Amino acid sequence: MKSLTNEQRTTLLESIRDVEDFPKKGIIFKDITTLLNNSSAYKLLMDHLKAKYEEYDLDFVAGIESRGFIFGATLANMLGVGFVPIRKKGKLPYTTIAEKYSLEYGVDEIEVHIDAFRGKEGSRVLLIDDLIATGGTAEAAVKLINQTNAKCVEACFLINLSFLEGVKKVESITNTYSVLDI
Confidence grade of residue 1 (pLDDT, cut at 50, 70, 90): low
**Number of domains into which the chain is organized:** 1
| Residue 15 belongs to a domain | no
The residues carrying an active-site annotation are: 67, 104
Nearest to 16 by CA among 41, 35, 37: 35
Q: What percent of the chain has pLDDT over 90?
A: 92
Please give the DSSP secondary-structure letter assigned to residue 43.
H
- Mean pLDDT, all residues of the chain: 96
Q: What is the DSSP letter of 118?
A: T
**Does residue 31 register a pLDDT over 80?**
yes
Please report whether residue 50 resides in a domain. Answer: no
Tally DSSP H helices, then E strands, for the chain: 6, 9
Predicted structure pTM score: 0.96
* The pLDDT value given to residue 106: 80
Q: What is the pLDDT of residues 66-76, one digit of tens each?
A: 999 999 999 99
pLDDT band per the 50, 70, 90 thresholds, residue 148: very high
What's the CATH code of the domain at 73? Answer: 3.40.50.2020
pLDDT value of position 154: 98
> Mean pLDDT across the stretch 84-107?
92
Low-confidence winner among 21-30, 42-51, 56-65, 100-109 (lowest mean pLDDT): 100-109
Residue 32 lies in a domain: no
The model's confidence at residue 102, banded by pLDDT at 50, 70 and 90, is confident
pLDDT above 80: residue 24 = yes
Length of the chain: 182
Is 36 domain-assigned?
Answer: no
Residue 121 pLDDT:
87
| Residue 132 backbone phi and psi in degrees, to 5 | -120, 130
Q: With respect to residue 79, please indicate whether it lies within any of the assigned structural domains.
A: yes
Instruction: Give Cα 71 to chain centroid, integer Å.
Output: 8
Residue 41 lies in a domain: no
Domain that residue 77 falls in: 55-181
Per-residue pLDDT band for 81 (boundaries 50, 70, 90) equals very high
Residue 37: alpha-carbon gap to chain centroid: 19
Residue 121 in domain: yes
